[in-house]
Amino acid sequence: MVGVSAGGLISGTTSDRFGRRPTVVACIVLQMGSGLAAAFTTDYVALLVLRLLAGGAANGLFYVGLTLAIEVIGSSKRNVVGMTISLSWAVGTVFLGGLAYFLRDWWSLQLALAVMSAPLLSYWWLLPESPRWLLSNNRTKQAKISLQKAAKFNRVTIPDEVYEKVTKLKDKEPGEKSKYNLVDLFRGPGLRMITVTMSLVWFATVAVYYALIIGSADLAGDPYLNFVLGALLEIGLSLVGLVAMERWRRRPVVGGFLFLSGAACLAVAATPTERQDVIRYISLLGRCAIGVAFTTLTVYSPEVFPTVVRTMGVGVANMSSRAGGILSPFVSLLADV
């Protein structure tokens, strides 16, 4: 969790400074390199450090890639694309469960996961840079080339006047900044409110999410099957989130399902301990509600930050979320207080 937290913040900063595509490829290289090294290291401390780097790279790859995808498509398709990316995480988790079932020793599993990152290196040639990021950094020629490639791929023709309107370089205002840092997220009142709000929402969401997931470890039966079934549940929740966003938009879905999960947690606390059957069903309801809120929040977060600080903002919110993830295993200790 520490590596994932740091990875979100660092990748967000580098993505806004150097671009989405270079950051994605750097995360792929770091994920593959640290994974391979972890498979062959014989030192426990080195293994922890390498796993920390792998976690940070994987988190950066996911959220920077998500931001890039959202920036290169139209607003009408963002729900589908965002949820498809969230769905791919769940599908990958199902695959991980199956792979772990057949590769029972950690070395083989670690090596297999590291080697699987190798084909992603082709993204350096296949992945386009975000036109929004290019325009926000006054790289209008590169933005025009990127738009032309997209138009050619989609077999459409963009009139020259559209290019001129989209790629027209705006004159800078006196004192306007060309580079931004983390401090800028808290400088203006509007952006500061967005940053603080998203950080608190992410913290609470992930704390509840992992606290409820940890309880699944107590389920009877094969642990590999339980892991895969939990991942399959995530696939269903992603589809529910997609339908809900299409009908009610993002903010009501996030708020509504967070409220439902919180109500379920309170109901569990108020239920007598001898009614384990009732507690189990209410906990499952809370688990589903927080899952929908989590996947919806993943799509919603990049949209509320300006392009110039978008991945930095997502990185700060993600860092706060991992603090909740670190604390979640200790929530059960409150029952003994």
Q: Six-digit token pair at 114?
A: 């590291």
Q: Which of 41-55, 182-196, 319-333 is predicted least confidently?
A: 319-333
**pLDDT at residue 172 tops 50:** no
Considering only CA atoms, which of 65, 48, 60 is closest in space to residue 322?
A: 60
Tens-place pLDDT, residues 281-333:
887 888 888 888 888 888 888 888 887 888 888 888 888 888 887 877 776 66
The answer to whether 87 and 39 are in contact (CB under 8 A) is no
The answer to whether 314 and 200 are in contact (CB under 8 A) is no
Tens-place pLDDT, residues 118-127:
898 898 888 8
The reported pLDDT for the residue numbered 216 is: 55
**pLDDT at residue 176 tops 70:** no
The dihedrals phi and psi of 90, each to the nearest 5 degrees, come to: -65, -40
252 vs 170, more confident:
252
Q: Which of 21-25, 61-65, 195-199 is predicted least confidently?
A: 61-65
- Using CA atoms, how far apart are residues 296 and 254, in angstroms rounded to an integer? 6
The answer to whether 292 and 253 are in contact (CB under 8 A) is yes
**pLDDT at residue 238 tops 60:** yes
Residues 6+ apart with CB under 8 A from 192: 185, 186
Q: Among all chains, which residue has been given the structure tokens 């671009």?
A: 19
Q: What is the mean pLDDT of residues 24-40?
A: 90
**pLDDT at residue 199 tops 50:** yes
The reported pLDDT for the residue numbered 29 is: 92
The answer to whether 183 and 257 are in contact (CB under 8 A) is no
Q: Six-digit token pair at 282?
A: 């209410």
**pLDDT at residue 175 tops 50:** no
The reported pLDDT for the residue numbered 174 is: 43
User: pLDDT > 90: what percent of the chain?
Assistant: 4
- Using CA atoms, how far apart are residues 186 and 148, in angstroms rounded to an integer? 36
Amino acid at 226: N
The reported pLDDT for the residue numbered 269 is: 79
Write down the mean pLDDT value for the chain.
81
Q: 198: how many CB neighbours lie within 10 A of its CB?
A: 23
The reported pLDDT for the residue numbered 43 is: 87
Residues 6+ apart with CB under 8 A from 320: 199, 200, 202, 203
Q: What is the mean pLDDT of residues 163-184?
A: 61
How far is CA 304 from each of CA 117, 213, 301, rounded to the nearest angstrom? 30, 28, 6
